[in-house]
Structure 1
Amino acid sequence: MKAIYWLKPGLQIKRWIVLGLIGVLLVAFSLSYFFAAIAIKVHSGLRFFIGLVGFFLVYRAFYCGLKSMFEDIHSINSNLSKVKMNKKIYDKKLLSRGPRIVVIGGGTGLSILLRGLKLFTSNITAVVTVADDGGGSGKLREDLGMLPPGDIRNCILALAEMEPTMEQLLQYRFQEGALKGQSFGNLLIASMNGISSNFEEAIKKISEVLAVTGKVYPVTLENIILYGVLKNGKVIKGESNIPEKSIEENSGVDRVFIKPKEAEGLKEVVEAIAIADIIVLGPGSLYTSILPNLLVKNITEAISKSKNRTVYISNMMTQPGETDGYSVGNHVDAILEHCPKLKIDYVIANNGEIFEGAYYKYQQEGANIVKVTEKDRENLKNKGIKFIEENLVEIKKDYVRHNATQLSKIIVDLASGKEKRNWGTWKNYR
């Protein structure tokens, strides 16, 4: 049993001990010939004693060395419990072996998914839209000429290792005065941006300070503006204005575009896509979170060139002024109409029930469940897209969210090539 235990993968300390012992034996073997060559003779009893002392010293060195290492870690993390210690040491090693996942989107949906993914892998790259022009982010964008920090702040907090009080501080919004409505986290990013050479460097520094798992990147460093074209032909400028004007005009969104049209995607984002095991689109607002990323030059091209899997995660609820009456298939069609060269290998959608209390709240706001129709299933099958339906509902304080852990398990399994037949109606649509 002990032999089996030693063969189990862990922190990789045991293999280095064995390697060190083999090295000692090889050196001893070499030295024996050297001593023989110079005609040094040692009595057999003395040779045995010297060898015994040598093995004792090697054992002592390894034992004390490892003990000292763990004592140092313990002294640094003296305020951590034993469980947290194990997580810091063992899980970090385990997570570093997880699949490389690139998640593209924005808004609340993206940050929720990231909280789930970091339980399975540390090789996460979050690519975040910078088309936001509303709320506190929009104010900083207008006043300081910087890229909007809001969605990026949420993603950093989702991937960060910090105490709850620190997270509350960074999410705190001022209630009075000139800063009313502004979050402390946004101001921190704005301050870091002021002392950095560019926005990307500022995000890297913030990520280092907050011990972020993985990486968070803006999709581009250019100051892009999102435009929406309604079905009645009217052109709307500004991400925050599109749903408002759509409702006001009683006309749905036909398409969106960005200016400048030639905005370049960040080099690091393109590189991350190229080596990813899986690329995830969403969840998030279709026209104002997901498509603004895909419209940036070379992002869709990089995804299309990737030999690995691309997954789209459908929203659970429609969004007033954006996706009124949309089914899962309508979401996919809109993406492919904007990005004809994009390849989507899988679509993940919820088929679980949403209880009346939470559902009623959304209906009051004009939102409904994103349905899955038989026509959707058939169309996706004809497009060569594999469809996974699963109960992914999680309701917190009457807010409908994806179950981040369950959704992350599906993504990690897909990235690892572990396709499961018991995923909802997956077995019917392979």
Structure 2
Amino acid sequence: MLNQRLASYENIVAIGGGHGLGRVLASLSFLGERLTGIVATTDNGGSTGRIRQDQTTIAWGDLRNCLSHLATRPSLATSVFDHRFTGDNELNGHNLGNLVLHALDQLCVRPLDAVNLVRNMLKINTRIIPMSEASTHLCALTIEGNKVIGELNVDDMHEAPVALHLEPAVTATTEAIHAIEQADLIIVSPGSFLTSILPPLLIPELANKIKPSSAKVIFIDNLTSDNSAGSRFNLSAKINWIHQVLGQNVVTDVIRQTGIDDGSELNSIHIHHFDLVSSHHRGLHDKIALGDAICQVTREN
């Protein structure tokens, strides 16, 4: 039924990182190859951060998370891919999926090849593409003019930054550019606003393809405040940040949880409210409800 209601959309692109993008992709996984996830690769925390301390590589954590959300469960392959080591040793805290992706990257020509090998192993049809295949870090500029380097430090800022950029500057993955060129629906996923949602939009090639696109652009807001400097932003502030990067009037629709109202007024943007909270975790979107909400919004306009 959901597939039939999105039948008019041939190419749907979801952008972001972490659990938020994973939930969106899982909610629309029935679309198969018609769905593409463009994933942030700037994380420098946890297992993926430890790998990046020793190796010049992209961040694998959000890519692994999206693949995990899309994989069929239960299976031996997903259990192995999700395994996290414990014990008093150097492997403690590492996620095996991150290590597998990094190892495959060393054996392949490019990072996307490693992602595609895992997709095939887990029998995932949805395309998962890193925003860039070159290593880069998220940087923020404070109101005093100081530079804060790395996602972890940006999340720990006591005040919201005045600007963000990637350092070093990197180019977008060719496949990500092509996906946006072909998109008739673009979804900006929920997640940590500064460190999961904005990084892909900071790459000029991606931003410059979204700006003139005729695709409907839906922004999905968080259910709860994330523990970061971005949690200070109301909906209007988030949309203003997106429009500063992409240009005015790019976002056409917003999906929010029923009962959330921070007083934001968004001219010409349609705000839609749904009951989206997962029964298992109040901070996560229910996958079925989210998929249904996206379908309904695409029908209304």
**TM-score, normalisation: structure 1:** 0.65
Q: What residue in structure 2 maps to residue 168 of structure 1?
A: 79
Shift of 1:188: 1.1
Shift of 1:319: 2.2
| Residue ranges of structure 1 left out of the alignment (5+ in a row) | 1-90, 353-370, 421-430
From 150, 155, 165, give the equivalent of 1:257: 165
Q: Distance in 1 between matches of 2:293 and 2:74?
A: 28
Equivalent positions of 1:24-423 (< 5 A) are 99=9, 100-176=11-87, 177-244=89-156, 246=157, 250-261=158-169, 263-340=170-247, 343-352=250-259, 371-374=260-263, 376-377=264-265, 380=266, 382=267, 384-396=268-280, 398-415=281-298, 418-419=299-300
Q: How many residues align?
A: 298
Q: Distance in 1 between matches of 2:65 and 2:5?
A: 22
Q: Per chain length, whose mean CA-contact separation is higher, i.e. which structure has more relative contact order (CA < 8 Å, sep 6+)?
A: 2
Q: Distance in 2 between matches of 1:314 and 1:340?
A: 19
Q: Distance in 2 between matches of 1:147 and 1:342?
A: 32
- Asked if 1 retains the 8 angstrom alpha-carbon contact of 2:41 and 2:130, the reply is yes
- Asked if 1 retains the 8 angstrom alpha-carbon contact of 2:211 and 2:247, the reply is no
SS at match of 1:112: helix
The one-character-per-residue Cα deviations of 1:292-340 (angstroms, maximum 9, x if unpaired) are: 1000121111112221201111112222332233322221122223333
Q: Distance in 2 between matches of 1:204 and 1:251?
A: 39
Equivalent AA in structure 2 for residue 404 of structure 1? K
Q: Distance in 2 between matches of 1:291 and 1:138?
A: 19
- Asked if 2 retains the 8 angstrom alpha-carbon contact of 1:217 and 1:269, the reply is yes
The one-character-per-residue Cα deviations of 1:218-262 (angstroms, maximum 9, x if unpaired) are: 011121111012334332111111122x1xxx333332111233x
Shift of 1:184: 1.0
Shift of 1:122: 4.4
Percent identity over the alignment is 25
Larger Rg: 1
SS at match of 2:232: coil
Larger proportion of helix = 1
Equivalent AA in structure 1 for residue 236 of structure 2? G
Q: Distance in 1 between matches of 2:64 and 2:151?
A: 18
Q: Distance in 1 between matches of 2:164 and 2:288?
A: 32
Shift of 1:403: 1.8
Q: Distance in 2 between matches of 1:98 and 1:171?
A: 35
Q: Distance in 1 between matches of 2:142 and 2:20?
A: 25
Distance 1:169 1:157, change over 3 A: same
Shift of 1:158: 1.8
Q: Distance in 2 between matches of 1:390 and 1:102?
A: 21
Moved more, 178-187 or 312-321: 312-321
Equivalent AA in structure 1 for residue 190 of structure 2? P
Equivalent AA in structure 1 for residue 238 of structure 2? H
Distance 1:206 1:280, change over 3 A: same
Equivalent AA in structure 1 for residue 159 of structure 2? S
SS at match of 2:162: strand
Q: Distance in 2 between matches of 1:166 and 1:342?
A: 43
Q: Distance in 1 between matches of 2:149 and 2:291?
A: 35
Q: What residue in structure 2 maps to residue 28 of structure 1?
A: none
Shift of 1:267: 1.3
Shift of 1:290: 1.0
The one-character-per-residue Cα deviations of 1:334-359 (angstroms, maximum 9, x if unpaired) are: 2223333571111111124xxxxxxx
Q: Distance in 2 between matches of 1:395 and 1:254?
A: 36
